[in-house]
């Protein structure tokens, strides 16, 4: 009886030489173990141009292999590449295993030096799967839904022109909270609390907590503090029709839509999470310390029971 092929998607930033080399290394390791590396068509062309020996040993996503056939997604790059991979397999059960080739890389599980070991453990299915909540994003104009998308990190409502602020009113659970002029508003998940939300002065929220964050950007108001609400709440930002300023919606820095004056952006928890493959079960506190190089010298640890 013929064994079912193991299809593992490899997503890489093939415009970078180090990422291209890492992708070739991963594909060769998968092939040697009897698995089938799957690549997006454009990335496959880039990889074969550099590594023609892989021709005939890889499959093409959406042609010979569908996303629902995937066992795992190995992502080579920074958080931006992982966000792209999450978009590619949205709604499928295959988890994402990130190998960081970028800078901070909060979503990645391993570093470049651990590449071979990470692939070995992936082939053994020696990993845990962690689900991260995502956002469901809708744009309404005159009560009509004109655009829908989703986000793992954040959805932002931002001014389209550098010269002018936008006027917004924010809502929580369908009730108005405050109105102000600003450069924009970040609507984030706990996963995104270490990304754009963090840069804007928002709190870091442990990813094990389900919550929605709202962080104003350069708001001209006395009450424009970051907000954290429960996972069953809804957040909304309405772009007020004042002046000639225009706004845009951006989801995870990837999906962009223009927002006309009067548009309302409503964010809720999405029923479709993103699944991340984890090789290590260490606490999120240690991840923060390592990624931000936080000063902990002198810590002696708890004495007795806390």
Looking at the domain that runs over 7-132, which CATH code has it been given? 3.40.50.10330
Q: Which of 18, 46, 69, 79 is catalytic?
A: 79
pLDDT digit string (tens) for the chain, length 306 residues: 456 889 999 998 877 788 888 888 899 999 999 999 998 888 888 777 777 777 778 888 988 889 999 999 999 988 889 999 999 999 899 999 998 886 767 887 777 668 889 999 999 999 999 999 999 999 999 989 999 999 999 999 999 877 788 999 999 999 999 999 999 999 999 999 999 999 999 999 999 999 999 999 999 887 889 999 999 999 999 999 876 678 999 999 999 999 988 899 999 999 999 999 998 877 888 888 888 888 988 888 875 555
Task: Record the pTM.
Answer: 0.89
CA dist 36 and 197 (Å) reads 38
Among 210, 231, 226, 207, CA closest to 288 = 207
CATH architecture classification, 135-269:
Sandwich (2.60)
Dist. CA 259–CA 167, nearest whole Å: 12
- In the chain, domain spans: 7-132, 135-269
Token couple for 134: 């995502």
Active site residue 244: no
């Amino acid at each position: 009886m013929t064994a079912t092929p193991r299809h593992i998607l490899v997503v890489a930033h093939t415009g970078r030489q180090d990422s291209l080399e890492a992708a070739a290394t991963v594909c060769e390791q998968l092939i040697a173990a009897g698995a089938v590396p799957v690549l997006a068509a454009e990335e496959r062309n880039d990889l074969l141009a550099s590594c023609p020996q892989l021709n005939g040993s890889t499959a093409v996503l959406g042609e010979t292999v569908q996303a629902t056939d995937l066992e795992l997604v190995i992502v080579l790059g920074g958080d931006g590449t992982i966000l792209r991979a999450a978009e590619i397999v949205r709604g499928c059960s295959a988890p994402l295993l990130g190998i960081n080739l970028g800078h901070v890389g909060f979503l990645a599980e391993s570093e470049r030096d651990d590449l071979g070991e990470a692939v070995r453990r992936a082939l053994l299915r020696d990993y845990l799967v962690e689900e991260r909540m995502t956002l469901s994003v809708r744009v309404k104009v005159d009560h009509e839904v004109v655009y829908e998308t989703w986000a793992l990190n954040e959805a932002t409502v931002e001014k389209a022109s550098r010269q002018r602020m936008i006027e917004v009113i924010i809502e929580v659970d369908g009730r108005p909270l405050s109105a102000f002029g600003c450069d924009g508003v970040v609507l984030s998940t706990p996963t995104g609390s270490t990304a754009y939300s963090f840069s804007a002065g928002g709190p870091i929220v442990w990813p094990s907590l389900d919550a929605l964050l709202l962080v104003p950007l350069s708001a001209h108001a006395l009450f424009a503090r970051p907000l954290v609400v429960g996972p069953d709440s809804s957040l909304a930002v309405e772009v007020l029709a004042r002046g000639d300023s225009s706004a845009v919606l951006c989801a995870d820095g990837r999906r962009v839509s223009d927002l006309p004056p009067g548009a309302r952006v409503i964010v809720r928890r999405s029923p479709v999470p993103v699944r991340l493959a984890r090789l290590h079960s260490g606490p999120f506190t240690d991840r923060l310390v390592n990624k931000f190089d936080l000063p902990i010298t002198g810590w002696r640890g708890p004495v007795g029971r806390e």
